[in-house]
Amino acid sequence: MVVVWWPTYARLFRAETLRVKTQYFIDAAKLSGTSTIGIIFRHIFPNVLTPIISYATIDLGNVVLTYSIISFLGFGIPPPYPEWGGRLVSEGFQYFPAPAWWYAIIPGVVITIVVIGLALLGDGISEYITSGGITA
């Protein structure tokens, strides 16, 4: 999944860097004699990192769903090892709907709750950042 998703983060990092480096406080830091390395680590990097943290938190729900789907299809970790619920849902379908329907439903509900919780956490972090809660 990392192989597929890293270009999104690279584009976001590049776009935020290009946006931040045109801000007036970067010009002020240059005029005050701050070195290029100092500008990068003291001004650009903290301002670029906050939107990436926000996006990564929102994207965690997609990671959980993708891994659950891969595991549901049987391409996950082999059976003796614990994994993230997709295999539980897949194996629970043999008991669905008659004798033990909860074998398939409960892992699916837990995955849904975790994904919604991660999306809400990411949205909260994004709101906190845009409201000025974190400043560099």
pLDDT tens digits, one per residue of 13-52? 999 999 999 999 999 999 999 899 999 888 888 888 878 8
Q: Which are the contacts of 35, defined by CB distance < 8 A and separation ≥ 6?
A: none
Burial (CB < 10 A; 0-12, 13-18, 19+), residue 129, is middle
Establish if 136 belongs to a structural domain. Answer: no
95 neighbors 44 (Cβ within 8 angstroms): no
Q: What is the pLDDT of residue 69?
A: 82
63 neighbors 1 (Cβ within 8 angstroms): yes
Establish if 135 belongs to a structural domain. Answer: no
Taking the C-alpha atoms of residue 112 and residue 109, their distance in angstroms, rounded to an integer, is 5
Establish if 12 belongs to a structural domain. Answer: yes
Q: Sign of torsion, CA 59 13 6 81?
A: negative
Instruction: Tell me the residue range of the domain where 61 lies.
Output: 2-130
Total structural domains in the chain?
1
Q: What is the pLDDT of residue 135?
A: 55
70 neighbors 91 (Cβ within 8 angstroms): no
Q: State pLDDT tens for residues 72-100.
A: 787 777 777 767 777 777 777 777 777 77
Establish if 89 belongs to a structural domain. Answer: yes
pLDDT band at 132 (very low <50, low <70, confident <90, very high): low
Q: State pLDDT tens for residues 50-66.
A: 788 878 887 888 888 88
